[in-house]
C-alpha cells in the first residue's frame, strides 16, 4: 500500500441544490479501510523503523482504530494490547481485535492513563520494546496522515478541474480535522470551508482540541479556518436519532454506500441539517467517508 494512498472520489448525489461528492476512504485496501488506515500506515512506519516488538493502544469495543492496529500488528507477527473501558464483545470490531490475538485490558475510565503506564513498564521489564499508539491515532502522526491526504484531494480536484467549496466529515478525536486544516494552511488555500461534524464532543472543548492539534503540528493558529460543529451529537458517543437511520438506509439503497450510526451516518445527517440551517445551496461539497463498515454490519436495519 502507498504511504499516502490516493483519494478515491466520486459524485454521490444532488442534495438541497448542492453537488455532493464522496471520498471513499472506507475502501482503502486494508482491514475494511477507514481513516484509521491512513494513520496506522504512518504509525507502523515508526514501529518498523524502531524495531518495536509489541503495540499498546486504547479504544472501545466499537473502535475501528483498534481493529486496524491489531490487524496491522498481526500482519507483522506483533502482539497488540488494548486498554478499554468497555468489555462488550458483541461488536464486530471487538471480535476481530480478539481474533487477531490482541489482549484486552478492561479498567474504569479514571484508571486508563495509569493502566497504560503500568502495562508499558511491565512489557519493558519482560524485555519487550512496546510502542504506544494513542486512542484513535490522535497526535502529530495522525494529523500528518490527513495533512498528506489533503494533497490527494487537491490532486483529484486539479485533475478533474473542479473545486470543492466545503469538506464535511465525522470528527471524533479531531485528528482528521486537524490534518485537513493543516494541509489547507500549508497550501495557502483559504477558499474552502472544512467542517467537522462532531460525533461526541461539545464546544468549546472539541474545537479547542482541534486547534491545539493544528498548533502542535504546524506551529500555526487555525483561527477562522476551524469549524467544529457540535449541533448533531444526539446526546453523545454511540447515540443517534431517526434522521441518522434514515440517511443510512437511503444512501445504502440508493448508492450502495454503507454509512454507520456512530460516525459517518451521524456526520452525513448532520451535514444535511447544517446545509439546510445555513441555507447553503449551489455548492460543490466533498464528504469524506471515514470508514466504519463493520459498525454498519453491527447495525444493519434496512
Least distance from ligand PLP to the Cβ atom of residue 53, Å: 26
User: Interacting stretch for ligand PLP, rule CB under 6 A, among 40-48, 113-121, 164-172, 237-245?
Assistant: 164-172
Asked whether position 292 contacts ligand PLP by CB under 6 A, the answer is yes
Q: Which of 84, 136, 130, 120 is nearest to 105 (CA)?
A: 84
> Can you tell me which of 180, 264, 285, 299 binds ligand PLP, judged by CB under 6 A?
264
What binding mask, one character per residue, do residues 209-248 give for ligand PLP by CB under 6 A, x or -? ----------------------------------------
User: Interacting stretch for ligand PLP, rule CB under 6 A, among 9-17, 73-81, 82-90, 172-180?
Assistant: 172-180
| Gyration radius of the chain over CA positions | 19
> Can you tell me which of 64, 84, 93, 213 binds ligand PLP, judged by CB under 6 A?
64
Q: Report how far apart, in Å, the C-alpha atoms of 294 and of each of 25, 82, 95, 164, 187 are.
A: 14, 18, 10, 29, 35
Q: Which string of b and e fits 163-178 if b means at least 16 CB within 10 Å? A: ebebbbbbbbbbbbbb
DSSP state of 228: E
Asked whether position 172 contacts ligand PLP by CB under 6 A, the answer is yes
Q: Report how far apart, in Å, the C-alpha atoms of 140 and of each of 77, 198, 216, 218, 271 are.
A: 26, 20, 7, 9, 27
Residue with cell 477558499: 191
Least distance from ligand PLP to the Cβ atom of residue 17, Å: 26
Least distance from ligand PLP to the Cβ atom of residue 268, Å: 11
Q: 36 vs 81, which CB is nearer to ligand PLP? A: 36
Strand partners, 170: 197
Least distance from ligand PLP to the Cβ atom of residue 90, Å: 18
- Per-residue cell: 178: 486537524
User: Interacting stretch for ligand PLP, rule CB under 6 A, among 32-40, 49-57, 116-124, 212-220?
Assistant: 32-40
Least distance from ligand PLP to the Cβ atom of residue 158, Å: 25
- Per-residue cell: 253: 439503497
Q: Give the integer Cα–Cα distance in Å for 42 and 166.
A: 26
Least distance from ligand PLP to the Cβ atom of residue 35, Å: 5
User: Interacting stretch for ligand PLP, rule CB under 6 A, among 7-15, 31-39, 70-78, 148-156?
Assistant: 31-39
Q: Give the integer Cα–Cα distance in Å for 286 and 234.
A: 23
Asked whether position 173 contacts ligand PLP by CB under 6 A, the answer is yes
Q: Give the integer Cα–Cα distance in Å for 147 and 210.
A: 13
Asked whether position 290 contacts ligand PLP by CB under 6 A, the answer is yes
Residue with cell 485537513: 180
> Can you tell me which of 157, 167, 170, 222 binds ligand PLP, judged by CB under 6 A?
170
Length of the chain: 302
Total residues interacting with ligand PLP, rule: CB under 6 A: 19
Q: Give the integer Cα–Cα distance in Å for 84 and 16.
A: 41
> Of 128-147, which residues contact ligand PLP (CB under 6 A)?
136
Residues lying near ligand PLP in the complex (CB under 6 A) are found at 34-36, 64-65, 136, 170-177, 263-264, 290-292
Amino acid at each position: 500500500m502507498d504511504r499516502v494512498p490516493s483519494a478515491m472520489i466520486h459524485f454521490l448525489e444532488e442534495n438541497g441544490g448542492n453537488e455532493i461528492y464522496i471520498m471513499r476512504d472506507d475502501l482503502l485496501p486494508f482491514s475494511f479501510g477507514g481513516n484509521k488506515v491512513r494513520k496506522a500506515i504512518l504509525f507502523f512506519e515508526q514501529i518498523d523503523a524502531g524495531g518495536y516488538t509489541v503495540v499498546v493502544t486504547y479504544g472501545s469495543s466499537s473502535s475501528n482504530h483498534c481493529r486496524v492496529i491489531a490487524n496491522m500488528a498481526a500482519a507483522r507477527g506483533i502482539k497488540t494490547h488494548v486498554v478499554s473501558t468497555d468489555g462488550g464483545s458483541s461488536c464486530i470490531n471487538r471480535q476481530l481485535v480478539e481474533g487477531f490475538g490482541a489482549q484486552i485490558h478492561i479498567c474504569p475510565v479514571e484508571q486508563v492513563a495509569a493502566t497504560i503506564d503500568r502495562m508499558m513498564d511491565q512489557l519493558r521489564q519482560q524485555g519487550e520494546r512496546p510502542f504506544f499508539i494513542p486512542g484513535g491515532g490522535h497526535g502529530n502522526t495522525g494529523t500528518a496522515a490527513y495533512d498528506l491526504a489533503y494533497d490527494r484531494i487537491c490532486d483529484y480536484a486539479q485533475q478533474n478541474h473542479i473545486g470543492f467549496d466545503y469538506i464535511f466529515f465525522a470528527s471524533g478525536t479531531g485528528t482528521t480535522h486537524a490534518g485537513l486544516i493543516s494541509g489547507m494552511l500549508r497550501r495557502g488555500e483559504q477558499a474552502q470551508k472544512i467542517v467537522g461534524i462532531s460525533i461526541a464532543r461539545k464546544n468549546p472543548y472539541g474545537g479547542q482540541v482541534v486547534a491545539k492539534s493544528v498548533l502542535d503540528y504546524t506551529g500555526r493558529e487555525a483561527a477562522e479556518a476551524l469549524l467544529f460543529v457540535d449541533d448533531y451529537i444526539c446526546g453523545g458517543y454511540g447515540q443517534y436519532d431517526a434522521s441518522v437511520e434514515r440517511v443510512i438506509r437511503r444512501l445504502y439503497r440508493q448508492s450502495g454506500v454503507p454509512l454507520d450510526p456512530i460516525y459517518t451516518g451521524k456526520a452525513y445527517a448532520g451535514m444535511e441539517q447544517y446545509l439546510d440551517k445555513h441555507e447553503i445551496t449551489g455548492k460543490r461539497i466533498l464528504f469524506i467517508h471515514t470508514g466504519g463498515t463493520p459498525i454498519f454490519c453491527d447495525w444493519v436495519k434496512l
